[in-house]
Structure 1
Amino acid sequence: MEERARSCLLRSKATLEQDIKASYLMDHMVSDGILTNDEESRVLGKPTRREQAAALLEVLLRKDNRAYISFYNALIRESYGDLANLLHRDLPLLSPEGERSFADGVSPSVQVILSEGGVPQRPVVFVSRPALLNLIREKLYRLQNTPGWVTVFGMAGSGKSVIAAEAIRDHALIKECFPGGVHWLSVGQCERADLLVRMQSLCFRLEQGQSSEASQRPPCSVEEAKERLRFLMLRRFPRSLLILDDVWDSSTLRSFDIQCRVLLTTRNRGLADSVSGEYFEVPVESGLDEEKGLEILALYVNGKPQKLPEQARSIVSECKGSPLVVSLIGALLREFPDRWSYYLRQLQKKQFKRIRKSSSYDYEALDQAMDASLQVLEPEHRDLYRDLSIMQNDVKVPAKVLSVLWDLELEEVEDVLQELVNKSLLFRDCNQRPYHYYLHDLQLDFLIEQNRDQIACSWLCLSPRVQRFTDRP
């Protein structure tokens, strides 16, 4: 519903609640196809006439322009002429193309749903990734008739949150699959007390408009919050989508295993194994291609990709197309447009700590984002991962090589490697048997910067043994 019409309904809400009889109006709106029989039943289930009127208005405020017009017409038909006059001036006009004809592809009704659900707005500098968007939407359509999980996973700075938010900016997807709305919750790394606060916030948001005082009391524990959310999603928001952004551990995720539809972003591919129901995976590639990287830089400096200086291509190449790094450098170049050569040199020297810029992302620089991934590993696995700094760019090695490096049994090495792959800290080439493993260049650069003083000694000690394996074709 467009902002002007929605604002009019909110201004007139008290008067409408006091005077209308919802049951009379809903007959017309059901006939118009605006209200479903389930929505009508929920409204009529309220104990008093005024509560029914309030419930009807709450439903209307989540719908599109057609709902406003249908409600207005119902008021006319039921001789509420004075109330219809309150709405007349702000009647929206429906174009022949309906609500799909908007430059950014997001209709007013969808924008209201996203805003109410706490979905982050599109970044000022945004470059679409159509193939990835379509893949996420295809998986979300699988949840049309059944609860389940869609997991969007990838390494730090790959753009998971932005692409997840963009995927649901789609009129048809929301109308057909999630008419109950979408509800975004940023989770992150949090202790149990912090998790409870986040769950309380979500409960509060979902309970807006309820009249029962008991339901407004914040849940006192994670378990109580889980049951409250289960009830709310089942009774008040069926066929809605819960979006859990940046989940780190399985115990946190189990707190939201409430038999609803969930879109999950995470660095840990294996998290969904800990919950019930169907789930689908969407990997996010770690780097943009050169064309997309140049497009981002051009948007930051208000130019055209073909007009960028020659250092632009080298910058995109050096940062391996990482959306985070390209955006960090683009934001810096917007303020210091003569520093193309300077930032290229910092990338070439692996000086990630000098490339930082405050942004909407949780981390100001790549080294912080990478380090956060390391900190969730067991201490002994963290040390093993740091040993990978002796690996070489674009070299893939089998587990047998790493069993020599780590001096561990092959089976134990394979278990460690599986954990690192699941947490997007390592990549596996499944086209070779046995599997071969490799680091993204940015991950390797980060480890080298972290362990610069230890590399020479380690390599001298291990080189005769490891080189025998890495030299093999």
Structure 2
Amino acid sequence: MLLAKMQNICIRLDPTLRASPPTSLDDAKNLFRKIMLEKYPCGLIVLDDVWEPKILRYFNVQARIVVTSRKADIFSKIQPGDAQRCMKISVDEGLPEELTSKLLTKIINSEVSPGQVSDSFNDEDMERVRRLHSKCKGNPFIVSIFGGLLRGRLSQFERYLKKFKTDLFKKVDLELGDYEYGSIIDAILVSIDDLDEEQKERYLHLSIFPEDTFLSARFLSTYCWRDEDGNPLSVDDSLDVMEGLFVVLLPR
């Protein structure tokens, strides 16, 4: 999987490589380094949500790199010399209250067309922003969920806050790496609960598959989604269901 991604990056940066892409990770790293040094000497590489330290090894190509990760020891296996050149920035404390307000405002108005009036917070809304910030400790993920919910529905702010559990961040057992997920699901459920019953039922029938797994409409119609009589949905109906879920959930 990593080799395929590096091949794809090299080909995107240099389409002439399509006929003869690198065949090993070391070859891909050397070729990537050559491309960056010759064509993009001022380039910035952004590696988002990295879990495996070996990924850093193969992307360490003498370029500036920004790495985001929820794994505390992600830099544990890099060379000592490289470690000395790393600057770590912790975001455990979450956003400050001012940035919570700015992020909410940005998301709420992200689809406002030129000439339209943007939504803004009145005094009561600002008090709700402070309450939300206090409950979620400035967690950007939670703030983003609320921003999607409030887009075009700012009048519902109080209702969503009441649905948001006050004990959201209590210690839980469900973890993934260094990130605690269990009670975060409560925040996602605020969004799911706002779906109509048919959309909610379809959402709860979704399954989790490995990253980059291709799921055809025929597969979903046969194995995942069925009509009210228990029969597999047609391919066209499955496509309609997927499109409907994307339209409803992606803005959130």
Aligned match of 2:60: 257
How many matched pairs? 170
- Cα contact 2:50–2:68 (8 A) shared by 1: yes
**Residues 335 and 218 (structure 1), Cα distance of their counterparts in 2 relative to 1, 3 Å cut:** same
- Which of 230, 237, 241 in structure 1 is aligned with 2:40? 237
- Cα contact 1:319–1:347 (8 A) shared by 2: no
Instruction: For 2:42 and 2:184, locate their aligned partners in 1 and report how far apart those are by CA, in whole Å.
Output: 44
Aligned match of 2:94: 287
Aligned match of 1:13: none
Instruction: For 1:323 and 1:242, locate their aligned partners in 2 and report how far apart those are by CA, in whole Å.
Output: 22
Aligned match of 1:224: 27
Looking at CA atoms only, which structure, 1 or 2, has the larger radius of gyration? 1
* Structure 2 residue 124 is the aligned partner of structure 1 residue 317: no
Q: Deviations over 1:340-363 (max 9, x none)?
A: 2322122225579xxxxxxxxxxx
Instruction: For 1:448 and 1:265, locate their aligned partners in 2 and report how far apart those are by CA, in whole Å.
Output: 22
In structure 2, what residue type is equivalent to 1:344? Answer: L
TM-score, with length taken from structure 2: 0.55
- Which of 163, 176, 183 in structure 2 is aligned with 1:446? 183
5+ residue gaps in structure 2? 110-117, 187-252
In structure 2, what residue type is equivalent to 1:326? Answer: V
**Helix, strand or coil for the counterpart of 2:11?**
helix
- Cα contact 1:233–1:240 (8 A) shared by 2: yes
- Which of 160, 175, 193 in structure 2 is aligned with 1:343? 160
Q: Deviations over 1:104-147 (max 9, x none)?
A: xxxxxxxxxxxxxxxxxxxxxxxxxxxxxxxxxxxxxxxxxxxx
- Which of 132, 139, 144 in structure 2 is aligned with 1:327? 144
* Structure 2 residue 14 is the aligned partner of structure 1 residue 198: no
- Report the Cα offset of residue 304 of structure 1: 3.2
Q: Deviations over 1:29-62 (max 9, x none)?
A: xxxxxxxxxxxxxxxxxxxxxxxxxxxxxxxxxx
Instruction: For 1:447 and 1:289, locate their aligned partners in 2 and report how far apart those are by CA, in whole Å.
Output: 19
- Cα contact 2:33–2:62 (8 A) shared by 1: yes
**Residues 289 and 231 (structure 1), Cα distance of their counterparts in 2 relative to 1, 3 Å cut:** closer
TM-score, with length taken from structure 1: 0.31
- Report the Cα offset of residue 215 of structure 1: 7.1
Q: Deviations over 1:180-230 (max 9, x none)?
A: xxxxxxxxxxxxx2x22221121012214xxxx567522223232122212
- Report the Cα offset of residue 325 of structure 1: 1.0
5+ residue gaps in structure 1? 1-192, 353-366, 377-422, 426-442, 450-473
Question: Root-mean-square deviation (CA), in Å?
Answer: 3.4
- Report the Cα offset of residue 250 of structure 1: 0.8
- Cα contact 1:219–1:228 (8 A) shared by 2: yes
- Cα contact 2:135–2:166 (8 A) shared by 1: no
- Report the Cα offset of residue 329 of structure 1: 0.8
Higher helix content, 1 or 2? 1
- Which of 268, 281, 297 in structure 1 is aligned with 2:71? 268
Aligned match of 1:99: none
Identical columns (%) = 31
In structure 1, what residue type is equivalent to 2:56? Answer: L
**Helix, strand or coil for the counterpart of 2:23?**
coil
Instruction: For 2:42 and 2:142, locate their aligned partners in 1 and report how far apart those are by CA, in whole Å.
Output: 37
In structure 1, what residue type is equivalent to 2:87? Answer: F
- Cα contact 2:168–2:184 (8 A) shared by 1: no
**Residues 232 and 291 (structure 1), Cα distance of their counterparts in 2 relative to 1, 3 Å cut:** closer
Instruction: For 2:183 and 2:119, locate their aligned partners in 1 and report how far apart those are by CA, in whole Å.
Output: 31
